Chains A and B, each alone.
Chain A
């Protein structure tokens, strides 16, 4: 189990708050849509802090502007992957940004095993660090 405050992975905008309700998620979706962003749903069973590419649950929803429809996609993803990490991202295509502008977690595994720190002692007093995701000790799709 993770030992940080909250005992959970703290990536994303709202991991220090109680899990968001569907109403709260809808409000965030509305905010993103009102700023012209496209929403995407992504999931993973390897939440390593430098695992950039979570799996896409379909493409970013560039043309879907209905919050209820987007929430439905989120819930479809939750049904398909109830024990994965799922995040909602919002992409901004404005010149000078062209990058995600929002990212928050909407689903987590029941038990979050967290990460170990592997220290390799090298020359002098230096240590080379590797952050090891305990979940990845098991094969893909067999992790939670």
Chain B
């Protein structure tokens, strides 16, 4: 098969020519600083040449259709064509392995293909038609390099880690949260009880769950009123700023604005939305949050439908990038040790993407590109799902201090009650941060540090006893394709 790009009159003759020859494959292309670069994992249909599959993905995610059109010639079509410029076989796939051959395809897009400040427009191209394209058996968006010029068209996080901490007056330690449980069925009055107990006991935040909106058992205004009473009571009882993520997710933007405005009128420091409301709604709420001095929490409801399987969908790190651009302040990004999917190396990649000013390429963490974040605020990652006080040393080791640790069951399920559960978590946290700062090998000595702290804290002692054997050791499905290899010394 000819591989040269067809040029001139021949290129625009009616009919079908391979994408590769239409100009969507250019191994000599040197991406510009202003290009958006994507990395796709492609599983071509049997018999489809990987370069052609990559060119097809480039074509279908930019200007191409299945056949030649003469109207291309009315445009600066060479510029607007996305260009697949590099295709590498994925390590440990293909012949001799259990996995069919996969390829990493690097594709560059000119910045003028995209509307400034619109995640919806960006994604309509990048993950629009192309995922259903027949020539590829499976397709996964692994990573993107977003140029500084394009990042500067986005607001970014409404508040950011720095301002959030300044507003809350909480520095130098992870924040503590919990999700109210049971997540469905409590009346407003009973629900607020959980919030009050947890905050008074020592948590910074309590959280609505993703599917708490306005149901027959508790309409949203009742929840908001009782929760804010609980927040203020707890704040007075402790002298600390406290918060409850009021979930404003609703069926329409108008309803969401109404709920968010009510949360503001009540004096809430934070509101929350779900990922399922969609990219445009998220960006709208981020603008609202910036305008109204509100921290914006995002629950990643729905992401695992497309982010978990390795061969198809999109990697969560791309969601992290889009959400930092869209402007949320918090996003759930994995716990490493909890009940939900999470390989430590991959999660480091997510956390770095959310929190760093610049993330260098790091294949072992799944970061394929150098990424300068162009002074966009930092997003606070949230670790939630099956974590407890006994894992504090591991949590701080893997996740650092700029994170929200959410112990739902680990607070509310405490044998001595919710306040005691909260106190156990807070004491464990402070003891571990103290030890870390003292230079102790807290990761190794974690259990001893917790035992020592439990001597003066009965709730912590009870928590360690209750959950001592609980761990979730399952193999992750989303893992690195590259492992760091030790260089043999001479």
Q: A residues engaging B (CB < 8 A)?
A: 2-5, 9-11, 13-18, 24, 27-28, 30-31, 47-50, 52, 89-90, 95-104, 114-117, 125-129, 131-132
Contacts and interface: CB of A to CB of B under 8 A. Distances in A.
Mostly helix, strand, loop or mixed at chain B's interface? Answer: helix
Interface string B212-225: 00000000010001
A50 B241 contact: yes
B378 interface: yes
Contacts of A132: 236
Of all A-B residue pairs in the complex, the 10 with the closest CB atoms, nearest first, are A31-B437, A102-B172, A9-B239, A117-B236, A129-B232, A115-B236, A27-B438, A96-B357, A103-B171, A5-B423
A50 B431 CA distance: 25
Contacts of A14: 430, 433-434
Nearest to B429: A16
Nearest to A117: B236
Contacts, number: 125
B371 interface: no
B162 A98 contact: yes
B: interface residue count bin: 35 or more
A103 B225 contact: no
A99 B162 CA distance: 7
B378 A96 contact: yes
A103 B434 CA distance: 12
Nearest to B356: A96
Given A27-B437, A31-B437, A103 B169 contact: yes
B431 A115 contact: no
User: Which of B228, B236, B266, B430 is the most central at the interface, judged by chain A CB atoms within 10 Å of its CB?
Assistant: B236
B334 to A, nearest CB: 23
Interface of B: 162, 165-166, 169-173, 200-202, 221, 225, 228-229, 232-233, 235-241, 265-267, 357, 375, 378, 419-420, 423, 426-427, 430-431, 433-434, 437-439, 453, 456-457, 459
A126 B171 CA distance: 32
A17 B240 contact: no
A48 B238 CA distance: 10
B232 A117 contact: yes
A117 B239 contact: no
Given A2-B237, A13-B434, A96-B357, 8 more contacts: A4-B238, A10-B239, A17-B434, A24-B434, A49-B240, A115-B236, A117-B233, A131-B235
Contacts of A90: 172
